[in-house]
Amino acid sequence: MLVTKPVTELCALLIDELYGELPSRIFATLLSKGKSTLPQLALHTSMTPRQLRHGLAVLQQHNLLFYHLDAGAEFASYEANAEHAYNLVRIGKILEMIDSSFGAPAKDVMQNLLLSGQTRISDLVAAYQEKIEQANMAAALMGENGEVGSEANGVNGDSRPAKKAGPFVKSTAHLNSIICRLVEAELIDVVHPKTFESPADILKVVEKEVMDKYFPAGVKGNKAKVELQQRIAEGLRKVRGESKSLKRKLEQNGSAAKRRKLLAGLSGMTNGVHDDDMDPSLDPKQVIRINYEKCLVELRNRRLVQFATDMFSETTAYVYGVLLKLLTKDLPRCRPDPVMDIAEDEEENEKKGPGFVTTEQILDNLKTSVDLSLGIGKAEKRHISSSAAENIRQYPPEKKPKIEEAEVDGEASEDEDEDDEPSGEESDHDTDYKAPMMNGINGVNGTSGAKVKFDESAGPKEQRMDRPTQLRQHLLLLAESTQRFVRHCGPNEWTVDFPPLMNALREVELDSVIERTSGRQGLRLVRILRAKGKLDEKALPNVALMRKSELQQKMLEMQTAGFVDVQEVPRDVKADVKKSFFLWFCDVDRTLDRLLDTSYKTMVHCIQVLEALRQKEKDVLETTKRTDVRGREKDTMRKEYYERYSRFLECERRLFAQVARVDDLVSVLRDF
Amino acid sequence: MSGRGGRGGRGGRGGRGPPTNGRRSVAQNSVPWTMDSDIVLDGKPSERFPPYNIPKAAPLSKKEEKQVSYFLIFREQCQDSPLYTQARTWAQTSSTARTYGQEQLNKRYGQITKATVDPFTAVPTYSHKFQKTPRTLPNLGSRPFAKEFFPPELHATLDGDDEPSGPATKRRRVGPKTLGLSNITSYRTAEEVFLREGQQPPLDGGANLDKALQLLNTLEKRNEDGDEEAFLSGGDDDDWVKNNGEDDEDAEAEEDDQYEDDEDDDYNAEAYFDGNQDDEDYDEGGDDGGDYF
C-alpha cells in the first residue's frame, strides 16, 4: 500500500473517529515522519512523554503499530501500520460478512475482539463468563417478577433490549467453539513475538540469518544469488507461518467439519451443544487478533459474487459463491507477496494458484432449497458447440493486454444465457484444443455419466435436466463469459484465475466511473481508444462517427478528468503545431491510479464533512451525550432539537455509507 | 505568410499590429448589434448559482444499511471503551486552514484548556452531573494486556502506573483487572430504543409515542422493584471498569494532569486543591477520597 498524503489523512481521521485524538495525532506523526522513537516523537509532536506512552499503548493494543527494539537499546522505534489503520474503515463490512457466514454469535465475538485489540484467550473467556453470569442473573430477576414482564410483553411485543444483549454466546464452551471455527477459517490468528516487527525489519533479520548460516563467505555468482533469494523466502514464510500455529494445532485434531462428521456417525443427529463439547479447548495463554488478510479474501469472494449477479443471474452467482468458498478455503491472502510467494511458485509449480474444485464438491455444498433450473436458458442442440463449451483449459491464460478484455465488455449481458452466442465466439480460436473429449471426462470421473448424457438428450425434447447437469450448465456459463469467472481446468474440475478476473472487474469499475462522469459518449470514446490504441485527432471523428467539435469537447473534458490523454508527435524538426500529430490514447493503469487517489480524497472529504456537521450541531450533540438524555432522546429533548439530532444521524449514516461505497472501489483497485 | 492570419479581410486579428488594434476593429465591425439592428440584448448578469444537477447517491441497500449500522455500533462501543480518549484539544476556530510544518500543526492542538473554557457554561450547574468528564488519557489500568507484545518502556503505562508525580502518590488498585465487554448493543437513534432490532421505525409518530408511553409505564413499575438498570440496557456507564469504583475521580485526576507543564513539581497547586474534595458537592458517588494512600 502506497502511503500518500490523502491516505495519511484518512488513517488519522479514522483513528480519531474510533480511538480518539491522542492516538490519532501520534499515528499521523508516525506516518509523516517515519520510524521514530519516543524522544523523537516527543520532539515532533510536542507532547509529554506520558501522553505519548499512553497513546502508543493504545495504538499498539489495536495492532496499529510495528515496533522494533534493538538489543541493548533504550527506546524502541515505532512505525505506523497504515494497512491496518485503513482496514478500520472496513470493520462494518467484515462484521456483516461474519454475521452472514458464521452467525450472530461469531460476529459478537469478533466485534469484542476488534474492540479490545489483541487479547489473551483467557481474558476474553473471563469477560464473556462475567457477561453470561450477568445475563443469567438478569434472567433470574426477570423470572422473579415475570408477571410484570409478561404483562408488559403481552401488550408490547418485545420491549426488552436487555434480553437480547446477553445470550449471543451461551457458555464458555460455545465461545471456545466459535473461536475454533474462526481460527480454522483463518479469520483470527495468533500473535507471536515477530508479529509487530515491520516487514522490512523481518526481512533484515532473516537476511542476516541466512547470510550467517549459508553464505558466510558472501554471495558469488548467479546461482548463489538465486539460492539466497529462495532461502530468504523460506525464512520469511516460516515467520509468517507462525501466526497460523493455532490453526495447525486444531487441524491436528481434525477440522471442525471432520469432528462434526465423526460425531454424527457416533450419535446420529447432532445439535449445537454437542458440537461445542467436541472442540478442543484452546491454550488460554495464546493471544489472538483479527487477520485482515483473510477477511479481505472473504470480502473479495462476496464482491465477485456480486459481480456475477450483475452479469448473470442470482442462481449462477450463488453457485459461483459456493465454488469460491470452497476454492479459497486455504487461500491466505488476495495478492501473493512478491518476495515470499514467487519463490514458492518456482519451487512447486504444480501447487500454484488456489487449486481446483470438482463438480461433486460444489454439489455437496449447495443448499437443496436452491432451484438450479433458474437462470439457465435453453438452446437447441444445433446451436451449441458442445466441444467448445466443454473445452478444458489446463493452464491459466497468458498475460494478455488489458484492452482485449475490456473491448468486448458490452456484450456481457444477460443474453449470454443462451449458450449459442459465446460458444460461437469461443469456437473460433479454440478449435485447435479439441483433444479433451467426452470419454476423457468419463474415464476420469466415474459419476459423470449423467452429465455426458445431457449433450445427447437435452435436445428438442426439452427434457428436464437433473441437478448435476444444471449445476454444470451454470459452471459452463461462468467459464464461457468474457470475464472468465471460472476456468474449466480439468474434467469436472474448476478453478478461478484471480488476476485476470480482477483486471476485468477493475475495467468494469473504471467504465462505470467514466460513464458517470462523462456520459455514455465518453465511455464509448474510451472504449474505441482501448480497442484501437493510439488514434490521431483527425482520424478519431471518423472512427467514432461524431462531429468534430462535439468530439473535441468531450475529449477535452475527459482529459481534464484524467481518463484519456493526448500525445504530440512533431512531424519535423521545427515542431510546427499545425503539422504535428496529436494522438489520443488512454492509459488504463494510470487512470486506475488516479482513480484510487481520488477515492482516498473523497473518503477524507466525507469524514471532514461529518466533522463540520458535528461542529454545526455542537449544542445538540452535547446534550445527547448527557447520561440522562442518552437513549431517551425523544422524550427529553425539545422537538426542534430532536429533529436536528435525527437529521444529523441520518447525515452521518449517509456519509459513512458513502465512505463504505468508495472503499468498495478502493478494495477492487488496490487490495483484491 | 502562414495561414495563421485567418480572417485577414477585417484587419488581421492575429497579425503583426498591436493587439489593441485588432480588437478595436473587431469591436467596430462584428459585434452582434452592428450586424443585426433588431437584436434585443439580454443585459442581465449571469446567475450566480446556475441550476446544477447535483448527483445524488443511491439509497442504501439492506446490506449497506447493515454494514453501516455495524460500523456505527462498533464506533459507539469503541468510544465507550476505556481506551478511548474523548478530550479534544483541537480548536476548530483556528484562523488559518493551512498549516506549514509540524510546529504550526502542533500549535493547533492544546487549544482547549482550562484557560479557554467558556465562562457561561463552566459555572457548575445541576445538569453538569449528567455530563461525562472527557478523558484526556486512556484508562489503561483497568484492563489486562498481553504485555509481552509491548516494548518494555510501555509496561508501566499499561499497568496504569505512569503517574507524573512519581510513585509516592501511586494509587493502589484493588481487585483483578478484567476485560469488560461493552453493553452497548445498538447504535441508538432515538427510535431504536423503543423498537426492536430489525424492525423499521414507523413513519408516523403516533405509534412511537404509544410505545414510549408503555415503556415509561413499565419502567415505573419496574422502578418500584428496583432493577431499573437491568431493564434499560444502556445508561450505566461504568460496566467497563469493574472492580474499581474510582471512575469519576480517575477522569478528573487525568484531566488535571493534562494541564501540568512539568513532570516533577514540588509545588503542585492542583493537587493541593483537589486533595480535600470539598467542592465536589455535585459528585454523584460521594467519594471520600479513600483511594489515595
Point out the residue among A17, A55, A631 whose CB comes nearest to the CB of B235.
A631
- How far CA B202 is from CA of A644, B59, B195, in Å, comes to 19, 18, 10
Q: Is B64 on the interface with A (CB under 8 A)?
A: yes
d(Cα A157, Cα B195) in Å, to the nearest integer?
A: 10
d(Cα A332, Cα A243) in Å, to the nearest integer?
A: 11
Query: Which chain B residue lies closest to A32 (C-alpha atoms)?
Result: B102
Q: Is A128 on the interface with B (CB under 8 A)?
A: yes
In 3-state terms, what secondary structure has residue A146? helix
ipTM: 0.81
Quick one: which of B67, B77, B103 has its CA closest to A91? B67
CA distance A656 to chain B (A): 7
Which chain A residues contact residue B106 at CB under 8 A? 44-46
Which chain A residues contact residue B148 at CB under 8 A? 193
Which chain A residues contact residue B237 at CB under 8 A? 627
Domain residue spans of chain B = 62-182+237-275
* Longest Cα–Cα distance in chain B: 103
Give the residue, A451 or A672, on which the prediction is more confident: A672
Q: pLDDT for B123-137, tens place per residue?
A: 888 888 888 777 888
Q: Indicate yes or no: CB of B193 within 8 angstroms of CB of A632.
A: yes
Q: Is B222 on the interface with A (CB under 8 A)?
A: yes
Point out the residue among A23, A118, A653 whose CB comes nearest to the CB of B149.
A118
Q: Supply the pLDDT for residue A373.
A: 75
pLDDT above 60 (res B2):
no
Which chain A residues contact residue B76 at CB under 8 A? none
Residue A536's φ and ψ, nearest 5 degrees, are: -70, 145
Q: Indicate yes or no: CB of B132 within 8 angstroms of CB of A625.
A: yes
Q: What is the DSSP string of chain B?
A: --GGG-SGGGT-TTSSS-HHHHHHHHHHHSSHHHH-TTPPP--PPPPSS-------PPPPPHHHHHHHHHHHHHHHHHHHSTT-B------TT-S-S---HHHHHHHHSS-SSGGG--HHHHS--GGGGGSPPPPSS--GGGS---GGGS-GGGHHHHTT---TT-GGGPPPP-S----PPP---S---HHHHHS-TTPPPPSSHHHHHHHHHHHHHHHHHHHHHT-HHHHSSS----SSS-S---HHHHHHHHHHHHT---SS-S--HHHHHHHT-TT-TT-SS---STT--
Please give the grid coordinates belonging to residue A398.
Answer: 497468458
Which strands form A188-190's sheet, in the order they lie side by side?
A: A119-120, A287-290, A188-190
Domain residue spans of chain A = 5-88, 103-142+164-290, 299-496, 508-586, 592-671
CA distance A649 to chain B (A): 7
Q: pLDDT for A630-665, tens place per residue?
A: 777 777 888 888 899 999 999 999 999 999 999 999
Neighbours of A538 (CB within 10 A): 10
Which chain A residues contact residue B63 at CB under 8 A? 96
Q: Is A57 on the interface with B (CB under 8 A)?
A: yes
- What percent of chain B clears pLDDT 90, i.e. is strictly above it? 2
Report whether A475 contacts A319 (CB < 8 A): yes
d(Cα A456, Cα A543) in Å, to the nearest integer?
A: 45
Q: According to CATH, what is the number of the domain A508-586? A: 1.10.10.10
B/e letters for B270-280, b = 16+ CB within 10 Å, e = fewer, are: eeeebeebeeb
Compute the mean pLDDT over every residue in chain B, rounded to the nearest whole number.
Answer: 62
Give the residue, A264 or A469, on which the prediction is more confident: A469
Neighbours of B174 (CB within 10 A): 10
Segment 6-45 of chain B within 8 Å of chain A by CB: none
- Of A419-428, A625-634, B43-52, where does mean pLDDT reach its minimum? A419-428
d(Cα B226, Cα A141) in Å, to the nearest integer?
A: 11
pLDDT above 50 (res B184):
yes
Rounded to an integer, the average pLDDT of B211-231 is 51
Neighbours of A234 (CB within 10 A): 15
pLDDT above 50 (res B231):
no
pLDDT above 70 (res A572):
yes
Give the residue, A286 or B247, on which the prediction is more confident: A286
Q: Which residues pair with A68 in a beta bridge?
A: A77
Question: Who's near B250: CB < 8 A, 6+ residues apart?
Answer: B139, B244
Q: Supply the pLDDT for residue B270.
A: 55
d(Cα B66, Cα B89) in Å, to the nearest integer?
A: 33
Query: Which chain B residue lies closest to A165 (C-alpha atoms)?
Result: B185
Q: Supply the pLDDT for residue A465.
A: 64
Quick one: which of A115, A253, A240 has its CA closest to A176? A253
Segment 136-195 of chain B within 8 Å of chain A by CB: 136-138, 140, 143-146, 148-154, 157-158, 162, 164, 178-183, 185-186, 188-191, 193-194
Quick one: which of A173, A191, A67, A182 has its CA closest to A119? A191
Q: Which of B62, B143, B179, B242 to mutate to test the interface with A (most CBs of A within 10 A)?
A: B179
Rounded to an integer, the average pLDDT of B136-146 is 83
CA distance A93 to chain B (A): 5
d(Cα A567, Cα A582) in Å, to the nearest integer?
A: 6
Q: Supply the pLDDT for residue A10.
A: 94
SS (H, E, C) A520-556: HHHHHHHHHHHHHCCEECCCHHHHHCCCHHHHHHHHH
Point out the residue among A25, A116, A628 whose CB comes nearest to the CB of B109.
A25
Compute the mean pLDDT over every residue in chain A, rounded to the nearest whole number.
Answer: 77
- How far CA A455 is from CA of A168, A319, A374, A380, B54, in Å, comes to 50, 21, 19, 11, 54
Please give the grid coordinates belonging to residue A265.
Answer: 456417525
Q: Indicate yes or no: CB of A627 within 8 angstroms of CB of B237.
A: yes
d(Cα A309, Cα B141) in Å, to the nearest integer?
A: 50
How many CA atoms lie less than 13 Å away from A276 in the CB half-sphere? 13
Which chain A residues contact residue B212 at CB under 8 A? 634-635
Q: Supply the pLDDT for residue A180.
A: 87
Q: Is A240 on the interface with B (CB under 8 A)?
A: no
Torsion of Cα atoms, A108 then A112 then A113 then A114, to 10°: 100
pLDDT band at B201 (very low <50, low <70, confident <90, very high): very low
pLDDT above 60 (res A596):
yes
Query: Which chain A residue lies closest to B102 (C-alpha atoms)?
Result: A44
Q: Is A632 on the interface with B (CB under 8 A)?
A: yes
Report whether A263 contacts A163 (CB < 8 A): no
d(Cα A435, Cα A415) in Å, to the nearest integer?
A: 29
Residue A171: DSSP 8-state = S
Please give the grid coordinates belonging to residue B111.
Answer: 487549544
Q: Supply the pLDDT for residue A423.
A: 35
Q: pLDDT for B43-98, tens place per residue?
A: 788 888 888 888 888 888 899 999 999 999 898 888 888 888 877 777 665 555 67
pLDDT above 60 (res B176):
no
pLDDT above 70 (res A598):
yes
Which strands form A565-569's sheet, in the order they lie side by side?
A: A535-536, A581-585, A565-569
Domain A5-88, CATH class in plain words: mainly alpha
Which chain A residues contact residue B65 at CB under 8 A? 657
Neighbours of A268 (CB within 10 A): 7
d(Cα B264, Cα B267) in Å, to the nearest integer?
A: 9
Residue A494's φ and ψ, nearest 5 degrees, are: -130, 145
